[in-house]
Amino acid sequence: MFIQLRSFSSMRTVLQNVTRTRIVPTLPTFYSANPVHENNINRLEYLLSKYSKIPRKLNISDPLLMAREKKTAVHWITLEEYRDITGSGVRLKPTQYKQLIYYLNKLNSLDPELISEEVRLEMDKYNRDKSTFSKRGPTHDGTYRIPELDSQGRSIAVGRRKSASAKCYTVRGEGLILVNNRPLNDYFVNIKDREAIMYPLQVIQGVGKFNIYALTSGGGCTGQADAISLALGKSLLAFNPLWKSRLHKAGCLTTDYRRVERKKPGKVKARKMPTWVKR
């Protein structure tokens, strides 16, 4: 009996010195589609349930207090920034981002004098003015950043549409436009595609004032043209940030997340039903 106990104790010491050989995921949500996002949501849900009994902010009816509250409102990170943080890319849907903002607003509605430092630190991770992840500065009226000119005077921006992506290099010049080392009229045969690319320049009255070199891949002609148009609109902000409101109102800075709806079983197309026949 003594020998058996001694063997158990020696086995325990041996097992303590053995390192773990099995690879363990760093996150409990490792096998989900967006592990980092799901882990963030679980963390916010845990904090909401933990501090659910804390009273929330009172409804303010005084106009002066409402104006002060609006001035000090929290500006959360944008969808593009959150995609960079999670590393999910287009796999992170706008609905998932709205879910994150919903939980953050619920945490922010707690009484600031009663919340703990744990909640405050968690919210600061997603605050654009305090987050270390945000690379775009406090631009509160858009989901894009204002690029800066590099050492060669170029403005570089990226745009996406459907499954197409584009990277646009813009410099001041005489109006030369190349797409994948080919002239614009040679690459895009359809006039509507060429007009879509030229639209941001028409908004700022800059046709013939910039040289544009675009690299695009994926998708079809329409998707690539819209991706280049979005990248061009973003890159123009480096030359004059005052164009931001004009381009934003014209829709040149807004990413279009629409996709083709898939075909359903039992239907001719996505929604079209077969012709009904009585017999």
CATH (domain of 228): 3.30.230.10
Tokens 């999670």: give the residue.
86
- Determine contact, residues 146/236, Cβ cutoff 8 Å: no
DSSP percent split of the chain into helix, strand, coil, nearest 5: 40, 10, 45
Tokens 């690029």: give the residue.
147
The answer to whether the predicted template modeling score (pTM) of the entire model surpasses 0.75 is: no
Tokens 């629409």: give the residue.
258
CA distance 180 to 160: 16
Burial of 58 (0-12, 13-18, 19+ CB in 10 A): exposed
The reply to whether 160 and 211 lie within a common domain is yes
The reply to whether 120 and 170 lie within a common domain is no
The reply to whether 162 and 97 lie within a common domain is no
The reply to whether 215 and 162 lie within a common domain is yes
Closest CA to 52 of 127, 103, 96, 123: 103
Total number of domains in the chain: 2
The reply to whether 160 and 237 lie within a common domain is yes
Question: How many CB atoms sit inside 10 A of residue 69's CB?
Answer: 12
From first to last of its 279 residues, the chain has per-residue pLDDT tens of 444 445 555 656 655 655 666 777 778 888 888 888 999 999 999 999 988 888 887 654 545 444 445 545 778 888 888 888 887 777 888 899 999 999 999 988 888 888 888 888 888 888 887 654 544 443 434 445 677 888 888 999 999 998 899 999 999 999 999 999 999 999 999 999 999 999 999 999 999 999 999 999 999 999 999 999 999 999 999 999 899 889 988 989 888 888 889 999 999 999 999 998 987
Domain span holding position 81: 35-124
Which residues lie below 8 Å from residue 167, measured CB to CB, with a gap of 6+?
156, 157, 158, 214, 215, 216, 231
Question: How many CB atoms sit inside 10 A of residue 132's CB?
Answer: 7
SS3 85: helix
Strands 182-183 and 177-179: antiparallel
The reply to whether 91 and 43 lie within a common domain is yes
